[in-house]
Each structure stands twice: as structure tokens, then as C-alpha cells.
Amino acid sequence: MKEQQTLWNKDFLLDTGINFVVYLIYYLLMVIIAVVAKDQLNASLSEAGLASGIFIVGTLLARLQWGKSIELYGRKKSLYGGILFYLVTTLMYFYIPNLAFMYGVRFLNGMAYGIVSTATNTIIASCIPVQKRGEGINYYGLSTSLAAAIGPFLGMVLMLLVNFTDIIIMCAILVVLCVGGCILLHVDEMELTNEQRQHMKDYALDNYVEKRVWVISAIGFLMGFSYSSVLTFLAAYAREIHLVQASTFFFVVYAVVITLTRPVTGIIFDRKGENYVLYPCYICLAVGLYLLSITSTAFVLLLAGVFVGLGYGTFMSNGQAVCIKLTPPHRVSVALSTYFVALDLGIGVGPYVLGCLQTVLSFADLYVVAGTIAVICFVLYYALYGRKAWKMGQPVICSKGN
């Protein structure tokens, strides 16, 4: 494969732009779909919640399968097919006669999103010079972080101004723009040996899970689990402590912090190594969650948003950079699939487990538990990876075998 010599090349910008749009639509629809299910289909609260959650089930299944398949079918073909599938399943929102049909559309839309996001995450690795891997991945990660901040805000505003049909029209137009971007995108395809191709066709566990990244993926699961306490319970907690107005700015602060710091953390990753970035991540997330547990003022609440952004927001993209660092090129897609499945599982499982704990604990106690999990991540990282991180090789020197 031809290595890019400059970071801000056309393909880097196109792939990052496609990723931003796909994530924007995901977050936009995620915040309004439960309301649509309740208002238009008379769904109960639990049924409306399932309409949101079943999307993630489709995403996980697609990521597991496409993590191994993307190199077999080709990176650009996978991206192109995934975007077209995303367009078709987005258009299906125009006709939702009942709740069962909505579940089906959400599941398929989640699968399409999983295919596209797996493809963009894999393609970006070949768009970034090796010596700027951390910096490039952090800039790329901004597309996800900004989408996570803009998408929910845009969804809530649009629900007040237009109807659901108009929102879907806008989403479909955005996906069509992604199709155009995919056509213009040049992708360096992985050239597999016959042995590698045959091995990847087998239904073996290592074709779905990359063992080289199991440590950072397991830690990613716990980080996602810990962060899910913010996503799920912040609104209810803010009502309880009478800080609802301040809480609406929490994720704005989170997004601003990530936007300002990610380029810097990327440079530190490249020049100093992952330990200089990841150890502070665990500490910052723990501090942010502990601050949430004791907050009684808007200032402390928003300060917690700063630390949560520095913690989880920084970890997410730099964990991805570690996966690329540890993995030979033909295994990058499987490695990233493993990592993001772990993150998604943590965010998906966390609300249920923490919700069960909330029946016996206060919200403040819940954030103490979540902060302690972040501390555990620090310990696990040191014990299983951090001590020997300097020995970990770059992809260019990894074994070319299986």
C-alpha cells in the first residue's frame, strides 16, 4: 500500500467528512426516535427505549462480521455498499406503520451504520502517515466527538421546528452527499496473500476478535461502562439536584474540551507514546465522575464536564490509535472492530447494571462507583499493558502472517 506523506490530504478529509455525517445522523435520530415511537405509535416507555437500543444490536453484529470481511471484499466496496445500505434503510423511515416495523428498520439501519463506521475507521489508517498516527487519529476522532455534540442538539431543535418526515429528508440528503464523497475517495486496498485470504474466510474466533488488542479493548469496555453513567443518568441526576439548566451545557463543554485538546494529545501520542496520554485519561475520567458525585453548583457540574471530556473523550480516539499501532495492516479492520464492539458493549451494558444498582444507591453513590471503575482501568492498564508499552511494535514491523 502507498503511504500518505501529508496528513491533510484529500482522502483524509473525505473519509473524516463521511464519518462525521454518518455519526451525526446516528446521534440525531437516537435522541428523537423514542419520542416518535411514543407519539406516533403509542409505544410505552420501555418499547420506545427498545426502538433506540435495537439499533446498537444491529451495529454490533455488523461490526463483528465486517471486521473480518472488509479486507476480503475490499475497503472501498465495503464503504460504498454500506453507504448505499444506509441510504436505503434511512429512506425506510418514511413508512413505519407499526412498532414491529420500526424495530426492523432500526435494526437494519444499525447494521448499515456498523458497516460504514467499520469501513471509515479502517480506511483512515491508510490515509495517515505513520509518524503522525496519533495526531491524525485524534483529528479524525473529532468528527465523532463533534457529531456526538451537534447531532443531539440538532435533533432536539428540528423536532421543535419541523416534522419527522422533514428530518428524514434532510438525513437522506446528507447520506447522498456521502455517496458522492465515496466516489471521489481513493482507497489503498490491502493486498492479501492466498494464505491470509483463506484464513480470513474461515469461521475462526480470531477472524472476529483480534487478540493483540484484547487489553485495550477490555479497558475500553470498562471505560464505556463508566461513561454510560453520564449518558444515561445525568439528566435525572440534574433534576434531583436542581441543576437542569446547567446540565444542558454539560456536553457542550465536553465537546469544546475535546476539540481544543485532541490535536495536542495526538502530538503527545506520536512524540512521547501512549502512556503519556492514556494514564491521564483514566485519572481525568475518575476525577470528573467523583466531581459529579459531590456537585451542588453549576460550576462544579461543568468542571466535571471538562474532566469527563479529557478522560473518556481523549481515551476513545487514542485507544483506536493503539489498536492500529499493535496490528499488522491486514488485521487492522478486525482490531478496530474488536475495540469498538467493546466500547459499544460497555455503553450498552452499563445503563442496565448501573440502573439495577440505582435501586439501592443514590445517584451520587452511582457516580462514585463509576469513578472507581475508571481507577480500576488505570490499574489494569499499568499491569497488563502500560509497563511494557515501549516494547510494542509499529504495524510496519509486525508479523505479516496470521
Per CATH, 1-204 and 209-390 having the same topology is answered yes
Structure confidence at residue 151 (pLDDT): 82
C-alpha closest to that of 54 among 126, 123, 114: 114
Q: DSSP assignment of 357-402, as one string?
A: HTTTS-HHHHHHHHHHHHHHHHHHHHHHTGGGGGGPPPGGGS-S--
d(CA 330, CA 114): 19
At residue 45, the pLDDT reads: 64
- Is the pLDDT score of 395 beyond 50? no
Rounded to whole angstroms, the Cα distance separating 165 from 183 reads 27
Q: Which of 21-30, 31-40, 196-205, 279-288 has the lowest mean pLDDT?
A: 196-205
Confidence (pLDDT) at 4: 54
The dihedral built from the CA positions of residue 184, 190, 191 and 195, taken in this order, carries a sign that is negative
Residue 208 CA from chain centroid, whole number: 18
Higher pLDDT, 137 or 94: 94
Q: According to the model, what pLDDT value does residue 200 have? A: 61
209-390, what's its fold? Growth Hormone; Chain: A; (1.20.1250)
pLDDT of residue 202: 66
Q: What is the pLDDT of residue 342?
A: 92
- The pLDDT score that the predictor gives to residue 136 is 85
Task: Please provide the average confidence, as pLDDT, over all residues in the chain.
Answer: 86
The predicted-structure confidence for 263-279, as pLDDT tens digits, reads as follows: 888 889 888 889 999 99
* pLDDT for 90 beyond 50: yes
Please state the rounded mean pLDDT for residues 113-117: 93
Mean pLDDT of 349-363: 83
Residue ranges per structural domain of the chain: 1-204, 209-390
User: CA–CA separation, 50 vs 348, rounded Å?
Assistant: 12
Res. 357: pLDDT tops 90: no
Is the pLDDT score of 87 beyond 80? yes
State the CATH architecture for 1-204. Up-down Bundle (1.20)
Determine the pLDDT at residue 394: 42
Query: Is the Cβ–Cβ distance between 326 and 389 less than 8 Å?
Result: no
The whole-model pTM stands at: 0.75
Mean pLDDT of 112-118: 93
Instruction: Give pLDDT, residue 132.
Output: 80
Report how far residue 374's alpha carbon sits from residue 283's, in angstroms, rounded to the nearest whole number: 7
Q: Are 338 and 311 in contact (CB under 8 A)?
A: no
Asked if residue 397 has pLDDT above 60, the reply is no
Query: Angle 2-5-8 (CA atoms, 0-180°, nearest 5)?
Result: 115
Q: Are 116 and 333 in contact (CB under 8 A)?
A: no
Residue-level pLDDT at 325 = 87
Alpha-carbon separation of residue 202 from 206, 208, 394 (angstroms): 9, 10, 27
Res. 176 pLDDT band, cuts 50 70 90: very high
